[in-house]
Chains A and B, each alone.
Chain A
Amino acid sequence: MSEQALPPKFDAQNYARPNDGWICGHAAEGHACPLGPGRGGRCQASAECVPSMETLPGESKGRWRCNRSREKCESGPLPDGTCSRQIPRCAPVPTLRTLRGRASRLTVAFTCGVLLTLLGIPGARRSFINPGPLSTAHAFGEPRMGHGVTNHSACGACHLAGNAGPNGILAAAFQAEPAPWQITRLIEMRTGDRSEMDGACLKCHSGHDFHQPNAPREAGCSFCHREHRGAGALPATTDAHCGLCHADASLMALAAAKRVQNVSTNPPAGGFTGVIHSFASDHPDFRAARSGSRDLNTLKFNHQLHLSAPTIPSLANGKRLDCGFCHQPDALGTLMRPVRF
């Protein structure tokens, strides 16, 4: 059962000033001085009034009179004319707002300090800003990101900002394509377009023109191959990646119209221009890459049964059978090795 408490007695004679940054130190004892702390929390305490000499008509000597605004004090001024009620100095207390302002400023200082430090020290910078470990292929034999990394110059192999500190990063940002203020250009970019970063791939993978000569558009390398996603192999390309072109009927029609003779493989009539929606659903059957070659594999393998039915036992290491168990890419990674069992 809750009973409503009565509001404590309230001083209606004076304004409450929550806008002030400091409160008189005596307020906690119930008698704040009327002057209040000055800017920056300085105690401005002095006397309660400035006494004045009052000579009534007919008197030869005057009296010191208390000049307090509310009501005169009982003791009155001292004989030498100073006020008898000197306000003791206090230690002004900051309000919550002032403390909050301090907390904000501290946080800003701390953040800037931390960021400048971590971005300024080459060793710390790399581990700090790296969004994820590089794939093994691109890590150039270095250990995984983590403790004990010593080669600080590797970022520059691909990135404009490279190994630079905060100034260099800023400078690189202003030289970026598109620049930070060119937001409308972002809207014009299409999925799969080449980005500036893709030029880095060509530094080593030179001449690795995308796909077949009759490909109607260039797709950026980074569209299919995402880096900084962890050590090991690059993340696998997905249906969505291939489907950028192969699921697009108009693009495939364009490609078919180009009729360029493919050099290395044995394409079907019209080139590899069938519209494919996903690998599992309507990818055409594979054929041998070189003309005249025959599939010597005698294994008739029921893929549906082995890869989807729940009765298939697991492998010895506890894993389930998947595509990659039999179908391995060759050394260059462009063609698949024949399955030999």
Chain B
Amino acid sequence: MSRFNRQLILGIAFLVLSCAVLLLVHRRYGALSPAYPYLTGWGLFIVILFLSAYNGRKKLPFLPLGSSETWLQVHVYLGLATAVIFLFHIRFRVPTGWFEGALAWLYGLVMLSGIFGLAVTRFLPRRLTARGGEVIYEKIPGLRHDLRQQAEAIALGGEQPSTTLAEFYARRLDAFFAEPRNFVHHLAESRRPLNALVAELEDLRRYQAEKERVEQLLTLVRQKDALDYHRALQSMLKLWLFVHLPLTWSLLIFSLVHIALVYGFAGGIK
């Protein structure tokens, strides 16, 4: 059996098992036991701490702590299992009150951003490979600058600069080459903006004397588009963590305060 299939099957088996175990605990202690929310709460907190420890593992690659791949598998499936613990912890009741509501929202956002990240890391790489034009993210601004200079030289330079070409460049291509473009279209795998631009250029080529220069511009436009595609998808592969990580910190702080509040208010009387 392939390694990835094995991971998937183990993961799902773990999820099913953990649901079963939780159900048993639920029956044994009963949702009505006063200890139940404490037990599920501590369980949830400890699991979330362990999930957060993955960030620590990534910062310690020089210690033999196990491979990052294993950690990620544990992180994903344990993370999914927390949904079940969470639901049992809140007793399937939508929380009322600002603090508990915020806490639940934070948990939900961290969970959803995690699932989003999982989807993104599994689906986007294939698209990047299929598109070709492999490029390292930090080098993209320099390459973009390079393309822009080349395009400007072709469109605006030469011994006999063409006014049509120059005007077209100023109107349509300058903005295109100046910045990363079409972020959303690239995420949606839509070629519409590129096709539109190519159509305009081909139209130009039909009526222009210097067909070769338009050809060169076409090549550059395609290269720029591939660069933008990489930038868009690689950005998405990095940006989802801007939601997942800061909110996890927030969740951890809220959880600590929650523990203090619960014990402070339910632990005794004045």
Contacts and interface: CB of A to CB of B under 8 A. Distances in A.
Given a CB threshold of 8 Å, the question of whether A touches B is answered with yes
B132 A5 contact: yes
Given A7-B134, A95-B138, A199-B269, A186 B263 contact: no
B268 A132 contact: no
Interface stretch (B62-70, B163-171, B200-208, B251-259): B251-259
Given A28-B141, A128-B98, 9 more contacts: A6-B132, A16-B138, A28-B142, A108-B250, A129-B97, A131-B95, A169-B261, A196-B267, A197-B269
Interface in B217-245: 222-223, 226-227, 238-239, 241-242, 245
A160 B131 contact: no
Interface stretch (B14-22, B30-38, B75-83, B116-124): B30-38
Interface in B1-49: 29-30, 32-35, 38-39, 42
B264 interface: yes
A170 B241 CA distance: 32
A175 B133 contact: no
Q: Identify which of A132, A158, A180 gathers the most chain B CB atoms within 10 Å of its CB.
A: A180
A191 B245 CA distance: 38
Contacts of A99: 242
Nearest to A23: B138
B199 interface: no
Contact of B131 (A2, A104, A131, A161): A2
A137 B146 CA distance: 75
A190 B266 CA distance: 17
A200 B269 contact: yes
Given A27-B141, A131-B99, A106 B264 contact: no
B263 A176 contact: yes
B145 A16 contact: no
B96 A196 contact: no
A130 B261 CA distance: 10
Interface in A193-214: 193, 195-197, 199-200, 203
A104 B241 CA distance: 10
29 contacts: A4-B133, A5-B131, A7-B135, A28-B142, A29-B142, A96-B137, A100-B246, A103-B245, A103-B246, A107-B249, A112-B253, A115-B253, A119-B257, A128-B98, A128-B99, A131-B95, A132-B97, A160-B265, A168-B264, A176-B266, A183-B38, A186-B38, A189-B33, A189-B34, A193-B34, A195-B34, A199-B269, A220-B34, A223-B34
A5 B225 CA distance: 10
Contact of B97 (A106, A115, A131, A176): A131
B154 interface: no
A323 to B, nearest CB: 23
B243 to A, nearest CB: 9
B236 to A, nearest CB: 12
A133 to B, nearest CB: 8
B267 A175 contact: yes
Q: Identify which of A31, A155, A187 gathers the most chain B CB atoms within 10 Å of its CB.
A: A187
Q: Identify which of B132, B222, B223, B265 gathers the most chain A CB atoms within 10 Å of its CB.
A: B265
B250 to A, nearest CB: 5
A222 B95 CA distance: 18
Contact of A223 (B32, B132, B133, B141): B32
B209 interface: no
B100 interface: yes
Contacts of A179: 263, 267
Contacts of A220: 34
Interface residues of B, number: 59
A324 interface: no
A183 B262 CA distance: 14
A186 B35 contact: yes
A115 B254 contact: yes
A18 to B, nearest CB: 6
B260 interface: yes
Interface string A120-137: 000000011111110000
A323 B264 CA distance: 39
Given A5-B132, A127-B98, A107 B266 contact: no
B9 to A, nearest CB: 33
Interface in A221-249: 222-223, 228, 230, 240-241, 244
Interface in A85-109: 95-96, 99-100, 103-104, 106-108
B145 A196 contact: no
Nearest to B139: A16
A2 B264 contact: no
A178 B245 CA distance: 33
Contacts of B30: 191
Given A6-B132, A16-B138, A196-B268, A104 B249 contact: yes
Contacts of B246: 100, 103-104, 106-108
B269 A169 contact: no
A104 B245 contact: yes
